[in-house]
Amino acid sequence: MTSILIRHITLFCLLISTIALTASTVQDDMEDYLDEATRHERLGDLHAALQYMDSALTLAVKSSDKAGEAEVYSRQGIVYQVQGNYEKALKYQLDALRLVENSADEELWANVLNNIGTIHHYQQNYEEARRYYDLCLGLRMKLEDKRNLAMSYNNFGALQEDMGNINEALNMHAHCIDIWKELQDTAWIAISYVNIGSCLQKQGDLDSALTLYEQALSMYTDRPGSHQRGKMMVRIGDTYLLKGEYLNALYWCQKAKDQAEVWEAIPLHKESCYCLYKAHDQLGNEAAALEMFKEYVAAKDSLEGQELTRRITKLEMDYQFSKQFLADSLAAEEDRMRAEFEFQAELDGEKQKRNLYLILGVGILIFTGGLWSRLTYVRRSRAEIQSERDRSDKLLLNILPAPVAKELKMTGKASAKDYSMVTVLFTDFVDFTGIAASMSAQELVEELNICFMKFDQIIESYQLEKIKTIGDAYMAVGGLYDTEFNYQERSIRAALDIKDFIQERRQINRSKGMKPFQIRLGIHSGPVVAGVVGQSKFQYDIWGDTVNIAARMEECAEMNSINISKTTYEMVKDCEDFEFTSRGALIVKGKGPMEMYTVQRSASHSAQAPAQVEQEPELKDEMKAS
């Protein structure tokens, strides 16, 4: 009997040790994955870092390690915040908060609250940022951890600066530096120098700000690849820009842009491109200024697109919450009234009954009023959600044809399709580089915008599809989704209207003393493949030999004329609205001799064409100093 008992105890001990060993192994593997994620973060390879974090998360879920799950979610949120994807960053931090809120791990809980506060801070939701910073500070003061307390003071200082309270911000950052020096943490001392420099820069003390930025950067040399270095570099570049030292501004902002590309940090990319645009513009480098301005606008649009998604998500959550709250309130009120009724029914006498009816009547009135208020709120939320969805659909239709947008919304992807016959239209400005050199970057962007906006109106009026602009070139296609009408003729009519509009712009620009644009247009018909390429910045495009030939038709066109291929000519030659002139067989690059025709309105129909094209209003410069 004793031997059996000993054997059972031995087996039980072996089982316990096996479980403990397994748990220890899982914990070690998880820490290894997180260490690798940290290493790749420092190298700037955020994609690989996220993959290692996913592996760590899988282990945490399998081992039911809630604290481990929360830590991974929080770190993933920080990576997405660096990349400027605030919607994903907030989602992961909220996932972490649900796991650690009111838990024993108050340090992790405080860190997650701090991270949520910084997301609201970056999006300029200052009151929400202050609320989360306050919650975080309360926990950290209980823990009496100087390092984490200093981090909270740092964030409060940055918040005060952004809210315009510069003196309060300076006092907070000075307090931070005292703590960091006591802890001998040079990295955080450097960050505090940057924050103080930013305050001094806003007060106009550029030399002191520059000294602090450069000192901070020199202290950060032990952390190569850190995106904090990129932030410091763009601060230095901006300061040189304000001092009028544009070559120095170019040097530092280009280094910051390189850091942003390594880290895929869209906010840093936007700031560095705007700095480079202003510096190139001041130095007279129009082409480079235009390129940086385009990159700045693309980054800005990307961040604004994420902001729209964030607002829709918030409205959806508010709507679902209000609907559930209404259902819960209804059930709770019914239970309460039923219990009260049963209690009052037991009382004797008419007086008790009258009191019961009075109480029930008042309760029903109050409940009905509350119910009506909730229903009104739900309807208003639903209307706001629908409005945001309509805006999203409109934005999507500006990028994609309607059938492709519908397929993308329903399935999450859009498959490529073959089209046996379409008509492709190309336009290009003659000697664009030479004309651009005679204009400022702002004038060039405004003129291109006026032209391309009018092209968009013309293309849409003839039910054609705009595909894209490539520099100063513009491409559209007819016959993709609307083949019931003669899209070949519509493509030519659109080309004629574009040519007329450019003629009007030439007269307007000459009257202003500006060098006018000249244009070439080319048209060809044939088969293409069309589809969506990319994922985060997808684009609808068409491919095939037809596209190449249409481009060659444009290249072979004479100035201010429309050149069409023989294939298109055979399809429209019987149209009485057009006059055609054969150009014979001309040599086409990569194709050999090809027959071509110029096309213009016939004499009998020229009088019907509009004599004037409405002048586009001058576009105001909406750029503001960042």
Tens-place pLDDT, residues 146-163: 888 888 889 999 999 999
* Dihedral sign computed on CA atoms, order 249, 252, 258, 263: negative
- Looking at the structure, do residues 597 and 472 belong to the same domain, yes or no? yes
Mean pLDDT calculated for residue range 111-139:
89
Residue 436 lies in a domain: yes
Within a domain: 83: yes
588 and 515 co-located in one domain: yes
- Spell out the alpha helix ranges (H) of 412-524: 432-437, 441-461, 487-511
Reported as a single tens digit per residue, the pLDDT across 233-257 is 999 999 999 999 999 999 999 999 9
pLDDT band at 591 (very low <50, low <70, confident <90, very high): confident
CA 129 to centroid of chain Cα atoms: 21
Instruction: Give the whole-angstrom CA distance, residue 521 versus residue 501.
Output: 13
What percentage of the chain carries pLDDT values higher than 90?
32
Q: What average pLDDT does the segment 462-482 reach? A: 90
Name the pTM for this structure: 0.44
Q: Report if residue 405 sits inside a domain.
A: no
User: What residue type is assigned to position 547 of the chain?
Assistant: V
CA distance 101 to 550: 62
Burial of residue 620 (CB within 10 Å: 0-12, 13-18, 19+) is exposed
The larger pLDDT score, comparing residue 417 to residue 354, is at 417
Give pLDDT tens digits for 28-68.
888 888 888 888 877 778 888 888 998 888 888 888 888 88
Do 377 and 456 lie in one domain? The reply is no
Number of domains in the chain: 3
If asked whether residues 447 and 591 sit together in one domain, one would say yes
Which pLDDT score, from 0 to 100, does residue 21 have? 43
**19 or 230, which is more confident:** 230
Average pLDDT score over residue span 60-78: 88
Percent of the chain with pLDDT over 70: 78
Whether 176 has a pLDDT exceeding 50, the answer reads: yes
- Cα–Cα distance for residue pair 203/146, rounded to 1 Å: 30
User: Reduced to 3 states, what is the DSSP secondary structure of residue 427?
Assistant: strand
- The pLDDT mean for the chain works out to 80
Q: 440 and 388, same structural domain?
A: no
- Tell me which of 144, 172, 206 is where a domain ends: 144
Distances (CA, A) of 442 to 448, 450, 610: 10, 12, 31
What CATH number corresponds to the domain at position 449? 3.30.70.1230
Q: Among candidates 578, 549, 581, 579, which has minimal Cα distance to 565?
A: 549
Q: d(Cα 514, Cα 440) in Å, to the nearest integer? A: 11
Q: 420 and 382 share a domain?
A: no
Two tokens, residue 272: 């560095």
Residues 423, 564, single domain; the answer is yes
| CA distance linking residue 113 with residue 90, whole number of Å | 11
Does residue 614 surpass a pLDDT of 50? no
User: Given 126, 144, 162, which residue is the final one in a domain?
Assistant: 144
Task: Answer yes or no: is pLDDT of 284 > 80.
Answer: yes
> What is the residue whose two structure tokens read 């970056």?
122
Q: Which residues pair with 525 in a beta bridge?
A: 423
The CA-CA-CA angle for residues 485, 487, 489, to 5°, reads: 105
The band of 377, judged by pLDDT with boundaries at 50, 70 and 90, is confident
CA–CA distance, 145 with 148 (Å, rounded to integer): 6
Structural domain including 346 reads 316-399
Q: With 50 as the cut, is the pLDDT of residue 325 above it?
A: no
The answer to whether residues 447 and 552 belong to one domain is yes
**Statement to judge: residues 382 and 437 lie in one domain:** no
User: Contact at 8 Å (CB) between 190 and 219?
Assistant: yes
Separation CA 74–CA 112 (nearest Å): 6
How far is Cα 191 from Cα 176, in angstroms, rounded to an integer? 10
Neighbours of 10 (CB within 10 A): 10
Reported residue count of the chain is: 626
Residue 98: inside a domain, yes or no? yes
At 573, is the pLDDT very low, low, confident or very high (cuts 50, 70, 90)? very high
| Separation between Cα atoms, residue 394 and residue 212, nearest integer Å | 47
- Is pLDDT larger for residue 407 or for residue 337? 407
Q: Show which of 399, 424, 448 is a domain's final residue.
A: 399
Helices (H) and strands (E) in the chain, counts: 22, 8
Half-sphere exposure of 19 (CA within 13 A, CB side): 7
Residues 455 and 547 both lie in one domain? yes
pLDDT category at 90 given cuts 50, 70, 90 is confident
